[in-house]
């Protein structure tokens, strides 16, 4: 049986983690408060309002009315206190409900803007995009805005020294056998970690892009991506790093990035560790061919199964131009340079 005291304590810790995530907080704060002209006198829906802080930002940006819809009982109480403490009760209406069950007080009413922090690990896993898109279809006016609007998932081959190099010498003791077992365990499921950008073997390519104003959840049942990239530096290819960025609307476009090159967020990155027999040391410009699939879990629609398969770069079609060191790509690149000279 759950203990209500500890349930509330755990919920507070989750909210504390998110509120202390400065890149997250600053992105939403800047995106909303830098667009006061878009929020002035508008009706806003905050999906999964949590503590209510995004709703408070919207009110301070000039919104006429904000519906802060939150399914968690604990979070709803926190949001009510926050809105009251900040003197915003006349603008922000905190509603304890799943957004799927929520009904606008006036049935014919629509909202001008939907705000939500719905993103999960590698954007989609354990996120609540489905709920946001349902809210969009039910409540958003034609020509309305979504905060954020655009989302991009990136992938890059990488080294994972924390699972390899670290275990070669622990205070003078080799732990190779332990490290092998640990890597076997880690390769069976993605790892959430903050990667040093120096461990990337490539700057990253776009795995998937979408616009929340028109994407349909059916399009996201399965995402499949295949590519060949050339290593931009020599190193040990031990896995793939996946991260995301979201872009907010407005004249001064604000981006929230979970890249290894950006300040750390609570999402960090998703690292898929390769099986040990698939790892290899690569030279600069070595081709890396791979396919990634993200399949929505049939038993839990908020989760995705992530799989990575290494392919043979001698067989797979390379992008044009391709900067890898294979002869056909060197000749193609030289030919293109000649044509453009």
Q: Which of 10, 126, 222, 264 is catalytic?
A: 126
Cα 44–264–148 angle (5° rounding)? 20
| Known catalytic residue at 117 | yes
Joined together, the tokens standing for residue 287 give: 């081709």
Q: How far is CA 190 from CA 146, 167, 283, 289, 296, in A?
A: 30, 20, 26, 19, 15
Terminal-to-terminal C-alpha distance of the chain: 73
- In the chain, DSSP finds a helix count (H) and a strand count (E) of 8, 16
Q: How far is CA 128 from CA 23, 135, 309, in A?
A: 20, 11, 27
Q: Which of 117, 150, 191, 245 is catalytic?
A: 117
Interhelix angle 73-85/53-60, nearest 10 degrees: 30
What residues have CB less than 8 Å from 69, skipping those under 6 apart?
45, 46, 47, 48, 49, 95, 97, 98, 99, 102
| Known catalytic residue at 10 | no
Catalytic residues: 117, 126
């Amino acid at each position: 049986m759950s203990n209500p005291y500890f349930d509330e304590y755990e919920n507070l810790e989750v909210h504390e983690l998110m509120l202390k995530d400065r890149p997250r907080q600053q992105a939403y704060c800047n995106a909303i408060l830098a667009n006061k002209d878009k929020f002035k006198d508008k009706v806003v829906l905050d999906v999964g309002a949590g503590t209510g802080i995004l709703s408070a930002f919207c009110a301070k940006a000039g919104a006429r009315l904000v519906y802060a819809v939150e399914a968690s009982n604990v979070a709803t109480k926190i949001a009510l206190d926050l809105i009251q403490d900040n003197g915003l009760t006349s603008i922000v209406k905190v509603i304890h409900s799943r957004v799927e069950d929520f009904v606008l007080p006036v049935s014919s009413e629509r909202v001008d803007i939907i705000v939500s922090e719905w993103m999960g690990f590698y954007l989609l896993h354990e996120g609540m995009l489905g709920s946001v898109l349902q809210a969009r279809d039910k409540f958003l006016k034609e020509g309305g805005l979504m905060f954020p609007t655009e989302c991009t998932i990136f992938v890059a081959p990488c080294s994972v020294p924390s699972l390899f190099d670290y275990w070669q010498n622990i205070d003078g003791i080799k732990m190779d056998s332990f490290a092998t077992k640990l890597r076997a365990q880690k390769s069976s499921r993605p790892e959430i970690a903050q990667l040093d950008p120096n461990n990337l073997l490539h700057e990253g390519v776009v795995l998937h892009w979408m616009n929340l104003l028109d994407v349909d959840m059916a399009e996201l049942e399965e995402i499949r991506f295949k590519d060949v990239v050339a290593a931009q530096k020599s190193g040990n290819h031990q896995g793939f790093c996946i991260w995301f960025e979201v872009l907010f609307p407005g004249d001064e476009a604000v981006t929230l990035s979970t890249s290894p090159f950006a300040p750390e967020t609570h999402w960090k990155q998703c690292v898929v560790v390769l099986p040990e027999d698939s790892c290899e040391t690569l030279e600069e410009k070595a081709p890396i061919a791979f396919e990634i699939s993200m399949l929505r879990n049939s038993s839990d629609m908020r989760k995705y199964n992530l799989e990575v398969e290494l392919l043979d770069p001698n067989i797979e079609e390379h992008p044009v131009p391709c900067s890898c060191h294979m002869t056909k790509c060197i000749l193609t690149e030289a030919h293109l340079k000649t044509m453009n000279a």
